[in-house]
């Protein structure tokens, strides 16, 4: 049941998907894997939407070069608080009605089932395909939807994977090669792509609209192009 406080707080979105949709968000647990450039807006907007439990996963501490895009981390966090704990502190003050769980460390084949136990949706906010494919394998094994996002420069991409209904991440990107070293990124690019990822998670949980199933959204903000590639 929604409290009077929640009915008032989420009034504008309840107008879209009703009390039933809001209650679905309240009961949901979403894992945000990577609490950086993409994970910051994803976590912010999922917290603002009233997701009942957010699980924040990362192994790093914020660095100065992160702050052009990782808006959940501030100067006071630099080289001190691991990203999940840094984000948890802000999000708990942003929305005290939701639960924030954290895992500080690296996901591995040995710990992933324990860490992600009970999660309804996984949001991939990572910067490497090694761990993305680990998430993909878990998603396929457990039947948990996975929202993939990636950014570089002014480019971004998003697709939503639902086991049994869509291609897996490994099938979509069979020959991917990891890039070494730093890559360019503008914060606004991560903000746009992360916001789309958050919306995909909300759509999956409420039944609103049409998620990007078997579709890859490609964005170039330098020229304001948004293209959808059919993956069937």
pLDDT for 40:
98
Q: Per the structure block, which two tokens stand in for 22? A: 């809001």
Domain count, the chain: 1
187 Cβ neighbours under 8 A, 6+ residues apart: 37, 68, 69, 71
Instruction: Name the residue with tokens 């291609």.
Output: 167
Q: What separation, in Å, do the N-terminal and C-terminal C-alpha atoms of the chain show?
A: 40
Give me the CATH number covering residue 107. Answer: 3.40.50.720
Give the domain range for residue 211. 4-230
Task: Render 66-86 in DSSP notation, one character per residue.
Answer: GTTT-TT--GGGTTTS-HHHH
Question: Which parts of the chain register pLDDT below 70?
Answer: none
Cβ-contact 57, 31 below 8 angstroms: yes
pLDDT for 178:
77
> pTM for this one?
0.97
Q: Backbone dihedral region of 151: left (phi > 0), alpha (psi from -120 to 50 degrees) or beta?
A: beta
pLDDT for 79:
87
pLDDT tens readout for residues 169-227: 999 999 888 777 788 999 999 999 999 999 999 999 999 999 999 999 999 999 999 99
């Amino acid at each position: 049941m929604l409290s009077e406080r929640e009915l008032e707080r989420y009034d504008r979105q309840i107008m879209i998907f009703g009390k039933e949709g809001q209650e679905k968000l309240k009961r949901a647990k979403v894992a945000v894997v990577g609490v950086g450039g993409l994970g910051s807006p994803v976590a912010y907007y999922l917290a603002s939407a009233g997701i009942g439990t957010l699980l924040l996963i990362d192994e790093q501490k914020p660095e100065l070069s992160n702050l052009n895009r990782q808006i959940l981390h501030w100067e006071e966090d630099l080289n001190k608080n691991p990203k999940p704990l840094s984000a948890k502190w802000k999000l708990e003050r942003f929305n005290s009605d939701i639960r924030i769980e954290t895992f500080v460390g690296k996901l591995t084949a040995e710990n992933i089932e324990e860490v992600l136990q009970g999660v309804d949706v996984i949001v991939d906010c990572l910067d490497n395909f090694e761990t993305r494919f680990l998430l993909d394998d878990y998603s396929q094994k457990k039947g948990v939807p996975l929202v993939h996002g990636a950014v570089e420069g002014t480019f971004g991409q998003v697709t939503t994977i639902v086991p049994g209904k869509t291609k897996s991440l490994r099938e979509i990107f069979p020959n991917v090669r990891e890039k070494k070293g730093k890559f360019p990124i503008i914060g606004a690019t991560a903000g746009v792509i992360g916001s789309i990822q958050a919306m995909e998670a909300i759509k999956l949980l409420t039944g609103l609209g049409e998620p990007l199933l078997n579709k890859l959204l490609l964005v170039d903000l330098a020229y304001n192009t948004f293209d959808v590639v059919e993956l069937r």
